[in-house]
Amino acid sequence: MPVTDLIKSSLAALTAKKSGPSLYDLCDPLLRGAGPGDAHLRTFYKTAVANPVLRPLMGRAGLPALADPDRFAALQGAIRSARDDAAPDWAAIGRAIAPLIDAVPQQHPRRPPLAGKASMPPRAEIDRVIKGCATDLIGSYTRNQGFIPAYAAFNLIGDPDFHGRDLVTALVGLNARTYKNATLLFNLARAFILPNAPVARLLNPGWAGFAEPMWEPVQIRHRSAYYDAFFAEALMDYLGTGLATADETARANTAIAGMIEFCLTTSRETVRHPTDGTPFDVVTALVKPPHVRMSKFFWKLKSDLGFGLYVPDCDTTACSLSAATQFGSLDPMLDQPFLDYYAGYQVRPGTNRAPPSVDINAPLDFTGGIVTWIENAAGDNPFGNDLDPTLNLDVLEAAFRNHVRWDIVGTEQRVTFLRGVVDFHDRLIGSGAFADPRAHIYYLPELYAAYFGRCLAAFRAMPAAIQKTIDPNDRFAAMRETILTYVQDDLAAHEMNPFDAALALLALAKLGGDRACFAPAVAAMVDAYGEGGRKGPYKAYEWNKMKTPTRILVGGPEVTSAFVLSALSHARTSLAAA
């Protein structure tokens, strides 16, 4: 947000007329200072919601509906129950707040159609951007003393797809009380922000394109194996272009090797198969200091607020295995029969395993899909479980890359597992639900489209006989056509920021789309090159997100550089072949 707009929005929020009881009128008598009940709820309120920065802004954000003393008292009763009860009725607490959230519906940006016809930039310009992005990534790895960072930012406005019903679902389905407390208070704050336009505009300004820019002034730098696997793959794409100098090749290989080691060694965690107890080494989502590379202040703050425990997940594990395989790693971890392990997390009728508890992307049919979170060795699973479509593409892609090592069609059980995941995607894509942001937990539809292309490329690289065994009815061909239509007629035919353009181009290049459709996306990335100023070639955009406890965006300038680098590298290869 420009400085002048920030000042205007701040003044409007600070001088707005108060039209009813505020969040602090409601909660201060119950949660401010020391007192009875759950201490974490009080701590979270003080630190995340009633801090000195937000108080002046939200102190005037009132709700006229709460002028009704009975409604005010009922809402206080729900908060008191969350504070005092040993086993709160979280569904009842959520139902008390849900109508306030649904009273102000949200929607994703409406992108205007592209104006005019874009011309394909010259090859020299494409190569210049590729090399600039590679220089940014390699330089960042050096400057940050052995890693490339990503950043997290809290957005108090909440996710447009997270409705009142979803709040009830999350409060019931999440396991850790601290995480329930955070989800409760963030969404309570959201209920006061949404109807107060000056505050809402300040906390959530508009933007161009689909993926949200990460403009928030406070961004938490950190490191995760998921990010390292992604950055390693982008640098491998750069080496595949033949543009790297000898020095760049050596530095890129050093960075890739270091990030693969972080994935398979530093982030490795031993767990047990969920049904038969067989030990498996998997990859945890967020390791502890010093490896997380988060400042001591933010790590303490994160822990104090109840986010101290992270467990492994199926997506981080799959992406780490894929990147390691592409780099030619011989780590014994890769030799484990991972298809048998993932099968323990597949949603199948007739099993004793509970379905996803945080099904905020319902009414999707989850049958055949794989849930997100893996219980650690102690059995902890603080986030309950959910099911994200893009994660399921990552598991397939890792399996296809390791089809020999994992003998993926060697048993009837493995074939059944893979067909089940393919059927899940076939239903999702065939119904058109894949294009709805609500169907996704951690990503946007445009990233699903790009990662479908990545998955399909790995599928087509396998021997024809294995392809036929997994997909006897050639459903991948039909899915490809549907995804291509979405990318060409929707995603790439409307206004794009450079992050959107990179995902559109990745999908087009990986799926073998019409090369005439490449031009708008390539032009958008070339034209935006330099927008990041001193921070890098590009700004930070939404890459992935959490919908609970509030909308938490993850991305960074280097993330945008990596996606642009990969997209242009694959498009360059496709254009050269033409």
CA separation for the pair 214, 503 (Å, rounded) = 17
For residue 549, say if its preceding peptide bond is cis, omega within 30 degrees of 0.
Answer: yes
Cα dihedral 133→139→144→146 (10° resolution): 100
Give the model's pLDDT for residue 185: 96
Whole-angstrom distance, CA of residue 175 vs CA of residue 83: 16
* CA–CA distance, 511 with 429 (Å, rounded to integer): 15
What average pLDDT is seen over the chain? 93
Using the 8-state DSSP alphabet, how is residue 113 labeled? B
Residues 64 and 148 in one domain: no
pLDDT digits over 73-102, tens only? Answer: 999 999 999 999 999 999 999 999 999 999
Of 25-39, 268-282, 342-356, 456-470, least confident by mean pLDDT is 342-356
Buried b (16+ CB within 10 A) or exposed e, 415-436: bebbbbbbbbbbbbbeeebbbe
- Supply the CATH number for residue 352's domain: 1.50.10.20
Number of domains in the chain: 2
Same domain, 538 and 434: yes
- Mark whether 168 and 223 lie in a shared domain: no
Final residue in a domain of this structure, among 141, 172, 202: 202
Domain assignment of residue 451, yes or no = yes
Residue 1 — very low, low, confident or very high, per pLDDT cuts 50/70/90? low
Domain that holds residue 86: 3-103+158-202
Residues 197 and 219 in one domain: no
Q: What angle do CA 458, 459, 461 make, to 5 degrees?
A: 65
Same domain, 141 and 171: no
| 218, part of any domain | yes
Q: Do 189 and 301 have their domain in common?
A: no
For residue 492, pLDDT beyond 60: yes
Last residue of a domain, one of 185, 202, 219: 202
Identify whether residues 18 and 78 lie together within a single domain: yes
Same domain for 165 and 148? no
Is the same domain home to 365 and 504? yes
Query: Does the residue 125 lie in any domain?
Result: no
91 and 145 belong to one structural domain: no
* pLDDT tens string 421-455: 999 999 999 999 999 999 999 999 999 999 999 99
Domain co-membership, 374 together with 467: yes
| Within-domain flag for 312 | yes
Inside any domain, residue 454: yes
Q: Is residue 108 part of a domain?
A: no
Query: 118 in a domain, yes or no?
Result: no
Among the three residues 202, 228, 263, which one is the final residue of a domain in this structure? 202
Q: Predicted confidence band at 12 (pLDDT cuts at 50, 70, 90)? A: low
- Is residue 109, in this structure, part of any structural domain at all? no
Same-domain check for residues 240 and 171: no
